[in-house]
Structure 1
């Protein structure tokens, strides 16, 4: 039993010879039948709440797919094809269909500077980049610092300072350069015994070469004398400068971007090698069709599962098992019983039936807009005429692909015309119905984060808990009363036995 009773001062059949324990248990079994009913009601309500939440999860997943169905790119996906390896391309939904000639005359490259051989240490060994600088380079002062600068996208020089501290190694200093935010990568090559500094960005950002004849003219990574030159043996004029890409668009427009990628008219061209290529852009009908079908399939699956809940048979004779009943059954028997007991938790629930009705109505309705299509049937989509399908969507692939090929913008408007009233797109209407149904379910069954008093079934569970607690207290009082009565009976019988024994003793004299 879930309740506790006071077991002290009990006399169990000593005088009467009766099995008082068994008799009290049998009496209490009858008394606790209403408590079993309350606990079964609580279990059923919990199952019902969880089933509602499972449905809400299905609707949430479907609702999450709606954003994609609102986007123009879903209906106007583009595919590109290039006539050669010199150029590849991608296009957004806004790109114009057609052919584009791209002649790549130069690829963008990044600036790089490689120092001369670092030589040997004092003991005749090659540099160990993991050992401290001061132990291998006699001209390094600790602590100290050095500076370098790089040219940015605005054509200006940005200075950077690197500090050398006690215990720094060649590797740690080069790592400081790399992590300085200068868009420079620095490392030591042990085979060549040289230090490399290179830009992580392609392009020529220092355009001063035409007007400046100094040693720094046109270079990307600038440094004077000091640690970089004296210790790492880097020389300014050894830099191989970065270059901009150079391409000719449609035989007329010359562009020199700093990277090997450039976007014109919502088409991004990627330059792979020198040469000329013709890039063709067209509607990607298959991609758009697949996205629409993926949503239709998920909608149909959601519809089928929710209808399954609504029409699932309820076996009223299979009540939730109590803890005492479970003790008498095997695990397999419990599993088979609960499969029947849990069936029909949402059978005929009006929240779900009205929600599905609203969702189905969205597909039937006409969309009052200025596009070529105002009804789903115009693009080959309709609800099944089979009553058993309960409103599932059917798609004519050829008709849908034809609509996507000829007028993807009108298909987009039919699905997602974000206005109020009769012109509202089908997907927008569906979203309204889904979110309204989800709110109704949350009001009834809450969310996993909800407190029980915030939703209807939760308040029912609180009420059942209170009733169960009160009934358990009542059972304690009833059981104590039974035991008092049996105890008084035992005392009375014992007293009679004592008197009888006394009389027998008197007669024996």
Structure 2
């Protein structure tokens, strides 16, 4: 950095002069900053519309599926069953008696998979200090640090037993883990609670001080690898456990072959089973110390079988001697007819009602399907409200006129203003920034087009929104934000639903694959989703970075940031150059003053 000399010799305020010169030099950079801030304001405004569009899409999602716009509501006289009028077209009633629920097939391995115990190798006394006095003890998934009291020369095995017990009781509480001595080695035994013995794991770099190995546990853990289990003797018969192999599972989805290698943990192997085509889930029951396999589907056709192909993992897990319980079909009587069965606990009636069995019943339950236009009207009203909120904001942004004389504030200007004044100024700057936005114009025209369209292939009396009482608000001069908003004639909509609920349903939800035949909600949802993508491409998602280079505006802001950074370096050089010149001037004046003083002295 250049040595900066103030104007002692010249009498000039050098700092102020350089500052004033730099203000002129900074003008191009200030313009870059203004461009950047204008783009940031555009990002804010676009993302505000993005939020409104997302809310509209959510509201449309509730009216684009036929099951949500049936115009009917199903109710049951008991919560032993649940009912939904998925596609009901008329009022009806049913009775249902559930004799038996559909169940999953289950394969329960024999209990006693684990060789319980946590005994270290022979204890050897050694000095305990602050470098080796901490171990991690996990009791029933709660891991805590146990700190031993330092002691030169170390503890005897009995002294260490007492010290370790003291610190465990202090950390976890009494009657959680008992410390004992077994053949000259320390032993940890968890205390059973309500018939369940929790897991205990010793870990950390200092476990060898106590004679334990890092990760040694009381019971088998699903996080252990096949290789570890083969040497740790934690599984019954694991002394002969093959560390690699494969086994087959047959379930309702077919037969799947599962391979395993020494580095696979038991959890990894269970994940492979759960993701396989056999459609079976495998879990470890830590309470009963056994493995369980369960079919993902219900019914009699979901039996499970398992066998080792190579290796002996399933036999070691005691799954080849497992108890099999074949799934059952549900048994029920509908409308006092004959006994029927179902592989699932859900059935559909001929009139579009779905009944789900929650429990068996002792007597028939009554199910009533009745007209419910209010539920449909409420969903449509929410969609209309969301649309009006969105189009109000779009209209406002498009109709705003830019205020002359308002540009983004510089840092110096902001320092001279309070927060409220800055906020009010920024509102003026933002005004009119989106008045010519092609994206907003497309949003307005693309969505309004749907409201005037006729849905092809439907009953002509119910093929447009206006036919069911949904129309656009009449335009009022001077109120541009209301242009294109929707209004509902609730009485007409209710009458349409009561008269022909299926036709009203199709008006919103019809989706045969051709856009001309798509229901209003389906077509609107697709367009809103596409337009949201355009907004995100332009300005990014709400909460995203302003300079996200994957967006149009973000890329522009990023380029401006680079230019501003480069310009800052250039300004620093120019400022140093000005100071260098003024320093030279000061030195010249100082030299001239010295010469004048010398001449004065010589001339007496």
Deviations 1:88-145 (A, max 9, x none): 65133234645445375x86699xxxxxxxxxxxxxxxxxxxxxxxxxxxxxxxxxxx
Summarize the Cα distance change of 1:177–1:107 in structure 2 as closer, same or farther, 3 Å threshold.
Answer: farther
1:454 alignment partner, SS class? coil
Q: 2:64, 2:508 within 8 Å by CA — same for their partners in 1?
A: yes
Counterpart of 1:92? Answer: 85
Go from structure 1 to structure 2 and tell me whether the alpha carbon gap of 1:498 and 1:396 turns closer, same or farther (over 3 Å shift): same
Provide the rounded CA distance (Å) in 2 between the counterparts of 1:428 and 1:101. Answer: 32
1 CA distance for matches of 2:570 and 2:545? 34
Asked if the contact 2:100–2:332 (Cα under 8 Å) also holds between the matched residues in 1, the reply is: no
Helix, strand or coil for the counterpart of 2:74?
strand
With over 3 angstroms needed to count, the CA separation of the structure-2 counterparts of 1:361 and 1:407, relative to structure 1, is: same
The answer on 1:379 being equivalent to 2:468 is yes
The Cα RMSD (Å) is 3.9
Q: Tell whether the 8 Å contact from 1:38 to 1:468 is kept in structure 2 after alignment.
A: yes
Cα deviation digits, residues 224-247 of structure 1 (max 9, x gap): xxxxxxxxxxxxxxxxxxx99986
Bigger Rg, structure 1 or 2: 1
Name the residue aligned to 1:427. 521
Q: State the match for 1:29 in structure 2.
A: 23
Distance in 2 separating the partners of 1:180 and 1:470: 65
* 1:380, distance to aligned residue in structure 2 (A): 0.8
What does 1:86-235 correspond to in 2, within 5 Å? 90-95=83-88, 97-100=90-93, 102=95, 158=107, 160-163=109-112, 165-166=115-116, 169=192, 171-172=195-196, 176-177=287-288, 181=292
Report if the CA contact (8 A) 2:548-2:554 is conserved: yes
Match of 2:64 among 63, 70, 74: 70
Q: Against the structure 1 CA distance between its residues 316 and 94, is the aligned structure 2 distance closer, same or farther, given a 3 Å change threshold?
A: same
Residue 45 of structure 1, CA deviation: 0.9
Does 2:492 correspond to 1:405? Answer: no
- 8 Å contact from structure 2 (residues 91, 370) kept in 1: yes
Q: Aligned pair in 2 of structure 1 residues 28, 279: CA closer, same or farther (>3 Å)?
A: closer
Matched, 1:363 2:358: no
Aligned to 1:268: 355
Alpha-carbon distance change, 284 to 179 in structure 1, aligned in 2, over 3 angstroms? farther
Provide closer, same or farther for how the CA distance between residues 421 and 256 of structure 1 changes in structure 2, counting only shifts above 3 A. closer
In 1, the alpha carbon distance for the partners of 2:93 and 2:515 equals 42
Return closer, same or farther for 1:366/1:257 CA change in 2, 3 Å cut-off.
closer
Q: Could you tell me which runs of 5 or more consecutive residues in structure 1 were left unpaired when the two chains were aligned.
A: 1-5, 111-151, 184-201, 205-242
Deviation at 1:435, TM superposition (A): 3.6
Indicate the residue corresponding to 2:567 in structure 1.
471
SS in 1 for 2:62: helix
Q: What residue is the counterpart of 2:2 in the other structure?
A: 7
Where does structure 1 differ by over 6 angstroms across 4 or more consecutive aligned residues? Answer: 243-247, 256-262
Q: How many angstroms apart in 2 are the aligned matches of 1:417 and 1:103?
A: 31
Q: Which sections of structure 2, spanning at least 5 residues, go unmatched? A: 118-189, 198-284, 301-327
Structure 1 Cα separation of the partners of residues 531 and 80 of structure 2: 50
Measured after TM superposition, the shift of residue 18 of structure 1 is 1.5
Q: For residues 595 and 536 of structure 2, what CA distance do their matches in structure 1 show?
A: 72
Q: State whether residues 80 and 89 of structure 1, in contact with CA within 8 Å, keep that contact through their aligned partners in structure 2.
A: no
TM-score scaled by structure 1?
Answer: 0.68
How has the CA–CA distance of structure 1 residues 103 and 39 changed in structure 2, closer, same or farther, with 3 Å as cutoff? closer
- Structure having the larger proportion of residues in strand: 2
Give the match's secondary structure for 1:176. coil
Q: Does 1:489 align with 2:484?
A: no
**Which residue of structure 1 lines up, in the alignment, with residue 307 of structure 2?**
none
In the TM superposition, residue 390 of structure 1 has moved relative to its aligned partner by: 1.1
Contact 2:75 2:367 survives alignment (8 Å): yes
Contact 1:101 1:251 (8 Å CA) reproduced? no
1:296: Cα distance to partner?
A: 1.3
Shift of 1:274: 4.0
Does residue 298 of the first structure (1) align with residue 392 of the second (2)? Answer: no
Contact 1:86 1:276 in 2 (8 A): no
Per-residue deviation, 1:278: 4.3
Q: CA deviation at 1:180?
A: 5.4
**Corresponding residue to 1:441 among 535, 541, 559:** 535
Superposition deviation, residue 7 in structure 1: 3.3
1:327 is the counterpart of 2:415 = yes
Query: Structure 2 length as normaliser, TM-score?
Result: 0.58
SS of 1:315 mapped into structure 2: coil
Task: Tell me if 1:79 matches 2:73.
Answer: yes
CA contact (8 A) 1:415 1:428 kept: yes
